[in-house]
């Protein structure tokens, strides 16, 4: 396959960036998208051009590092995959592919396609935990049975990989899907109940302080989420938030 790549290049956080065009030949349909980028970078280095910086690590769709906006979609055209699991067989010979970073004010660009997503960590610092110390003396794991349907739903919410596709996709750069996934996981489990009120208030407050936009129920986040996190979580967080405000 022969491709034309239009890629966002930006030297550092303060530099002005622009789209640059590169052509790449000999791409195999069995390559992952990131392996195609590796081949491009080898070619660029051979031409004395700085390789394109991008985040990646596990390359099996679970670490949440990779974060490319491909042809106007977070993680590209395939559904329920991250960029590292997207394969070139989804493209055709002669295609032009536009590759940009995940764009949002709270995700400043570090270099090229690499963005700073530590805002997500700070939201978790605000309340994304159960306050239990390590002791070896917590109660037996089977002491509290948990209804299977709730345990499964908590798991589905906890499957979020924190990649930020929801924010990059949202026209308002809202982080509601990400935050609600964590709030829901704990709201559905008895272990999370004790701190539920404080958790949802603190996490939403931090989310707002980071500068993420509001949710207007468009639902694009759910469509683009590589882990299929459901909008139901946003509804649940809204209920949690409302009742926390009434209590609080």
Partner 1 sequence: MATLDAKIPEGPIAEKWTNHKNNIQLVSPANKRLIDVIVVGTGLAGGSAAATLAELGYNVKAFCFQDSPRRAHSIAAQGGINAAKNYQGDGDSTHRLFYDTVKGGDYRSREANVYRLAEVSTNIIDQCVAQGVPFARDYGGLLDNRSFGGVLVSRTFYAKGQTGQQLLLGAYSAMNRQIGRGKIKMYNRHEMLDLVKVDGKARGIITRNLVTGEIERHAAHAVVIASGGYGNLFYLSTNAMGSNVTASWKIHKKGAYFANPCFTQIHPTCIPVSGDHQSKLTLMSESLRNDGRIWVPSKKEDAKAIREGRLKPTDLAEEDRDYYLERRYPAFGNLVPRDVASRASKERCDEGYGVNATGEAVYLDFADAIVRYGKEKAHVKGLDENDMALVQKLGKEIIKAKYGNLFQMYEKIVDQNPYETPMMIYPAVHYTMGGVWVDYNLMTTIPGCFAIGEANFSDHGANRLGASALMQGLADGYFVLPYTIGDYLADDIRTGPISTDTPEFEAAEKDVRAQIDAFISNKGSKSVDYFHRKLGKIIWNKCGMSRNESGLKEAIEEVKALREEFYNDVFVPGTADSFNESLAKAFRVADFLELGELFAKDALERTESCGGHFREESQSPEGEAMRDDANFAFVSAWEYKGEPSEAKLHKETLNYENIELKTRSYK
Which residues in the 50-69 window bind partner 1 by CB under 8 A?
A: 50-51, 53, 55-65
Contact between 153 and 188 under an 8 Å Cβ cutoff? The reply is yes
Measured CA to CA, the distance from residue 144 to residue 99 in angstroms comes to: 48
Contact between 28 and 107 under an 8 Å Cβ cutoff? The reply is no
Residues 19-38, interacting with partner 1 (CB under 8 A): 28, 30-32, 34-35, 38
Among residues 2, 20, 72, 130, the one that binds partner 1 under rule CB under 8 A: 130
Does 101 participate in binding partner 1 (rule CB under 8 A)? no
Report the candidate in 94, 53, 50, 95 with the shortest Cα–Cα distance to residue 71. Answer: 95
Pick the closer one to partner 1 by CB: 18 or 139.
139
Q: How far is the CB of 172 from partner 1 (least distance, A)?
A: 23
**Could you count the other beta carbons within 10 Å of the beta carbon of residue 208?**
13
Q: How far is the CB of 218 from partner 1 (least distance, A)?
A: 26
Q: How far is the CB of 208 from partner 1 (least distance, A)?
A: 17
Q: Angle CA(39)–CA(51)–CA(72) in degrees, nearest 5?
A: 75
Among residues 14, 18, 21, 142, the one that binds partner 1 under rule CB under 8 A: 142
2: DSSP letter: -
Pick the closer one to partner 1 by CB: 94 or 145.
145
Residues 153-192, interacting with partner 1 (CB under 8 A): 154-155, 158-159, 161-162, 185-186, 189, 191-192
Measured CA to CA, the distance from residue 44 to residue 38 in angstroms comes to: 10
Stretch that binds partner 1, among 83-91, 95-103, 216-224, 231-239 (CB under 8 A): 83-91
- State whether the Cα torsion 120-121-122-123 is positive or negative: positive
């Amino acid at each position: 396959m022969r491709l034309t790549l239009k890629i966002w290049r930006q030297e550092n956080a303060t530099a002005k960036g622009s789209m640059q065009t590169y052509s790449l030949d000999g791409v195999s349909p069995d390559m992952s998208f990131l392996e195609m980028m590796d081949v491009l970078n080898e070619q660029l280095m051979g031409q004395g051009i700085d390789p394109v910086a991008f985040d990646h690590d596990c390359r099996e769709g679970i670490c949440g590092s990779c974060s490319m906006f491909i042809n106007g979609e977070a993680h590209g055209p395939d559904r329920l995959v991250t960029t590292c699991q997207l394969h070139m067989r989804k493209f055709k010979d002669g295609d032009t592919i536009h590759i940009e970073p995940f764009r949002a004010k709270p995700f400043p660009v570090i270099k090229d396609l690499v963005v700073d997503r530590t805002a997500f960590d700070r939201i978790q610092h605000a309340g994304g935990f159960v306050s239990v110390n390590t002791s070896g003396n917590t109660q037996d794991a089977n002491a509290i049975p948990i209804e299977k349907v709730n345990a499964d739903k908590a798991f589905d919410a906890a499957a979020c990989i924190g990649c930020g596709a929801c924010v990059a996709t949202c026209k308002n750069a809202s982080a509601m899907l990400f935050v609600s996934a964590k709030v829901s996981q704990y709201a559905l489990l008895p272990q999370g109940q004790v701190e539920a009120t404080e958790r949802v208030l603190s996490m939403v407050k931090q989310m707002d302080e980071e500068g993420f936009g509001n949710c207007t129920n468009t639902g694009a986040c759910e469509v683009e989420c590589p882990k299929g996190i459901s909008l139901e979580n946003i509804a649940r967080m809204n209920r949690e938030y409302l009742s926390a405000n009434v209590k609080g």
